[in-house]
Structure 1
Amino acid sequence: MADSKLFAGHAVRRLRRASGLTQAAMAELLDISASYLNLIERNQRPLSATLLLRLSERFDFDPRQLSASEPGGGADALRRRLADPIFADLEIDRAEMEEWLAGAPGAAEAFARAYDRIGQGVAPVAAGTHDPVAPVRREIERWRNHFADLDRMAEEIADELRMGAGDLYGAIAERLRVRHQLAIRILPFDVLPGTLRRLDLHARQLQLSELLDPASRTFAAAFQLAQIEARDAIEALVRAGGFEERPSERLYRRHLTSYFAAALMMPYARFLRACESTGYDVELLQRRFGAGFEQIAHRLTTLQRVGARGLPFFMIRIDRAGQVSKRYAGASGAALVEAPGRCPLWALHHAFDRPGTLIRQMVELDAGSGAPGQRWFTLARTVQPPGRRQGDIRAEFAVGLGVEASLAAPLTAARGIDLKGEATQVGLGCRACLREDCPQRSAPPAARALLINDRERGLSPFAFVSD
């Protein structure tokens, strides 16, 4: 925090009001002037390391809460929401948004919750139903999918496991057996029909399906260890999330437990060193850490430790219909991930044509995207989760990874790619895209009136008012 500017006026104001103090009284406790505190609360001055220390000592709180409690996830997250076509005519610039955050943080948070509640601009399927995933994604986004306490705890346990055995799966199995009286048993598919992992407390067994590959078995064992040894830390984060509905609370708990399991398989410091020494070579990282492609991809989005940050990757997972089942923007701020739609010109959708092949592409957001000019180096590959089949149906997804083109030079996968050269122009889905000459368009933009001309037809099946 000492090396970066932290603007958190809303959090300081909330802390002051919760303490029942006036600006003058709080300023006196912090040994600063009331006018300086006023500037801090209006986000016109950053919090210094010295002031953070005083706040921590005199008000008994964790300074990390300041950066983790930005209304609506902060300016970038709010900007992504405002990129929705229904706000296209408002032209809210960044300065106006920062004034909004500084002057009315509660209203900004209320807007974010209301927007997320209705599914990013899409009405609920039925009256009275809510999307339990939206508040979970908001909480993950608030932390930028980096949970420092879980990472540190996982690293400590991983170091202990390395001292006991070279095989991580075997070391976890032994720890579960000795410390927690739980044995791991691999069972035939027909004994565990439709189930990949089951905890049988009566038999004191963690039962795993034979369908799980080695990486998935290790993850399942690490997940069980996380449920036991990281329970208190995970429950503290769940309580801090303040979820109103049990399904959201349980989904968030599962995410945090999975986060810990991944951190145990890929301890932060070792994983970051491996990333930097290999040029973030995903296939090599898979072999080195005994993990799957999707596990590595997700872990890359979490490397935001203060003083030891990795590249800010985003990750997204879609099915053949383009439906998103996972998305993590991390610290990337990528509108490509947060948008309700995706562009068919993005090679992520083409990965299904070349199963198992890593597809590279340079993309640039077009002028109508709400974030024009952003350039990304992206990777895409299909994955087939082990065991996820029913009859003749085998699950298949495309996982996309991306990092800003200006940061992609160290990547092994970017070798031979002109990161400053031509890039495929993509939008955020047809309803959000204002590109006029795209023959791939499947729907008119939501923010423009249609032009119907019976005497001529252009490249696009939908002509619309351009401004």
Structure 2
Amino acid sequence: MADPKLFAGHAVRRLRRGAGLTQAAMAGVLDVSPSYLNLIERNQRPLSATLMLRLAERFDFDPLRLAAEEPGGGVEAMRRRLADPLFADLEIDRTELAEWLSAAPGGVEAFARAFDRMGAGGTTPADDPIVRVRREIERWRNHFADLDAAAEALSDELRLGSGDLYGAIAERLRARHSLAIRILPLDVMPDRLRRLDLHARQLQLSETLDPASRSFAAAFQLGQIEARDEIEAMVTGAGFVDRAAERLYRRHLTSYFAAALMMPYARFLRACEGTGYDIELLQRRFGSGFEQVAHRLTTLQRVGARGLPFFMIRIDRAGVASKRYAGASGAALVEADGRCPLWQLHHAFDRPGRLMVQLVELEDGARWLTMSRTVQPQGRRYGGVSAEFAIGLGVAAGLAAPLAMAKGIDLKGAGATPIGLGCRACTRIDCPQRSAPPAGRTLIVNDRERGVSPFGFVAD
């Protein structure tokens, strides 16, 4: 896939002002004309690879910061915020939003911060650490290049000595860090899946963990030790003010490293492209669980070697989302608080363990090929509470042709299921599944007739 053009006027302007330079002075340093630099800062010209290298050389500038510094997380992140029912009557289109980002990046960032602090629709507490961490992950589009590179190098080193990754990690923990892995029976560790006992120098794992989860737990522990500096630098850079958010973010980054160790970037991307992103085959090839592979698919955004931009969401039977990763997909389906019951994600619980594929279409015409399947957390025991979640994966229909799951599906035809972002955000007129009228629309109550939908409302 070709890399998209990079418009980064906000970052260049911030860099210039931080250096105390006029446009003319900075243009002289970069060997470009002041008028060309002006166009770049106004996002009327993309940032070329040559100019990016000059910025890196002459201003000690890290190009990786460009994607992370887009005002409000960029166009797609802002679109997800504006999909909130609070703005339902404004009808801000993509072109208008792009012009806003170009003309007033500071204002966009200020709006994003205020919206995130308030919470979507004012329903999320301002100090919710989970929301703060999710926004930081979103800022990076859930791709952390430094962690990927470090995990890939370590994975190659471990595989030189053994084809058994779990065994290689266990040996490295023992030889280099004096930590042994011990599998404990359920009656000894009834309420924990993993525990680090520094006194005994043991990483203790529950016998209820399957092989993929044991590998992940061992990789997580190795990441805590050997990727500590990279992870701490990112945690510090996030600037969280509360320890809960800091710890949640550190755990996410360590989990990211562990997944990247099990599924190293280049090998995993080749396998994805070679198999048509066949998730079950990828599970077997990399010794990973369904949820681990699903999450990894949202991270494939290495510059020059990008995979398809997947999103992932995890919900319980009540529809509460416990994981959301939009990655580079820009999917409003991830960020919306509401979801449509016509989306098969909610039907996955009726067919446990079965992958369900569905082509859906949102009100704005965006089409997504989605995959849904249930997963059960590790640590189950007979007679205990049996938890279950549904994982939703998706990719834009226009990019989905290479997928094995897309075979036999007309991605441009009339077979897409029309869905919305929850009834309060959806303005489809004749939906028989509607449970509430859309926010911001005048309700129509007519005693003389009844339509397909129990709620009538003014369309415009």
Tell me the TM-score range normalised by the shorter chain.
over 0.9
**Conserved? CA contact 1:72–1:138, under 8 Å:** no
Structure 2 residue aligned with 1:408, among 376, 400, 415? 400
- After superposition, residues 379-390 of structure 1 pair within 5 angstroms as 379-387=371-379
Partner of 2:202: 205
Whole-angstrom CA distance in 1 between matches of 2:202 and 2:346: 41
Which residue does the alignment assign to 1:146?
Answer: 143
Q: Which amino acid aligns with 2:231?
A: I
**Change in CA separation of 1:442 and 1:102 when aligned onto 2, cut-off 3 Å:** same
Alignment of 1:185-204 (within 5 A): 185-204=182-201
| Pair 1:442-2:435 in alignment | yes
What secondary structure sits across from 1:10 in the alignment? Answer: helix
Q: CA shift at 1:391, angstroms?
A: 5.5
What is the alpha-carbon distance in structure 2 between the residues aligned to residue 466 and residue 96 of structure 1?
22
Q: How far apart in 2 are the matches of 1:124 and 1:79? A: 18
Counterpart for residue 114 of structure 1:
114
The residue identity in structure 2 corresponding to 1:401 is L
Offset at residue 388 of structure 1 (A) = 5.3
Alignment partner of 2:239 out of 223, 234, 242: 242
**What is the one-letter code of the residue matched to 2:409?**
I
Query: Structure 2: how far apart are the matches of 1:50 and 1:25?
Result: 18
**Take 1:134 and 1:110, find their aligned partners in 2: how far apart are those partners?**
17
Residue 361 of structure 1 aligns with which residue? 358
Deviations 1:23-76 (A, max 9, x none): 222222112222222221111111111211111111112111112210111011
**C-alpha separation in 2, matches of 1:13 and 1:325:** 37
Task: Call closer, same or farther: CA 1:95–1:286 in 2, change over 3 Å.
Answer: same
SS of the residue 2:390 aligns to: strand
CA distance in 2, matches of 1:122, 1:458: 32
User: Aligned equivalents of 2:97 and 2:124: distance in 1?
Assistant: 27
Match among 454, 461, 466 for residue 459 of structure 2: 466
Amino acid at match of 1:440: Q
1:376 maps to which of 351, 368, 392: 368
What does 1:320-399 align with in structure 2 at a 5 Å threshold? 320-366=317-363, 372-387=364-379, 392-399=384-391
CA distance in 1, matches of 2:79, 2:417: 23
AA of the residue aligned to 2:249: Y
Return the match for 2:446 from 427, 442, 453: 453
1:367-422 Cα deviation digits (max 9, x unpaired): xxxxx111111111100011157963111000011111222222122222222221
Q: How big is each residue's C-alpha offset from its partner over 1:324-372, in whole Å with a ceiling of 9 and x where there is no partner?
A: 0111111111111121111000000000000011111111112xxxxx1
> Structure 2 matches for 1:119-268, cutoff 5 A?
119-124=119-124, 130-268=127-265
User: May I ask how many residue pairs the two structures share in their alignment?
Assistant: 459
Match of residue 95 from structure 2? 95
> Unaligned regions of 5+ residues in structure 1, if any?
367-371
Indicate which of 273, 276, 279 corresponds to 1:279: 276
1:51 counterpart SS class: helix
Match of 2:80 in 1: 80
Partner of 2:63: 63
Inter-partner Cα distance in structure 2 for 1:341 and 1:303: 27
What does 1:290-329 align with in structure 2 at a 5 Å threshold? 290-329=287-326
Q: Which amino acid aligns with 1:68?
A: A
- Name the structure 1 match of 2:12: 12
Residues in 2 aligned to 1:341 and 1:349: alpha-carbon distance in whole angstroms = 12
1:121 partner SS: helix
Matched residue of 2:345: which SS?
Answer: helix
CA distance in 1, matches of 2:252, 2:246: 10
> Helix, strand or coil for the counterpart of 1:291?
coil
Question: What's the counterpart of residue 49 of structure 1?
Answer: 49
Partner-residue secondary structure (3-state), 1:399: strand
| Whole-angstrom distance in 2 between the partners of 1:385 and 1:31 | 57
Q: Does the 8 Å contact 2:76/2:331 carry over to 1? A: no
Give the SS at the match of 1:155: helix
- Percentage of identical aligned residues: 78
1:187-228 alpha-carbon deviations (Å, 9 max, x no partner): 111211211111111111111111111100000000000000
SS of 1:144 mapped into structure 2? coil
1:426 aligns with 419
Cα distance in 2 for partners of 1:51, 1:388 equals 55
CA distance in 2, matches of 1:412, 1:123: 39
More displaced, 241-250 or 352-361? 241-250
Aligned-pair distance for 1:456?
2.5
Distance in 2 (CA, whole Å) between partners of 1:438 and 1:92 is 24
Tell me whether 376-385 or 89-98 shows the greater mean CA deviation: 89-98
- What is the DSSP-based 3-state SS (H/G/I as helix, E as strand, rest coil) of the residue aligned with 1:348? helix
TM-score normalized with structure 2 length: 0.96
- In 2 relative to 1, CA 156–119 (structure 1 residues): closer, same or farther, beyond 3 Å? same
Amino acid at match of 2:277: Y
CA contact 1:389–1:395 (8 Å) conserved in 2: no
Contact 1:355 1:382 in 2 (8 A): yes
Once the two structures are TM-superposed, the CA of residue 174 in structure 1 deviates from its matched residue by 0.4
The answer for the alignment partner of 1:369 in structure 2 is none
CA contact (8 A) 1:2 1:48 kept: no
Cα drift, residue 103 of structure 1: 2.8
The answer (yes or no) to whether the contact 1:158–1:264 under 8 Å persists in 2 is yes
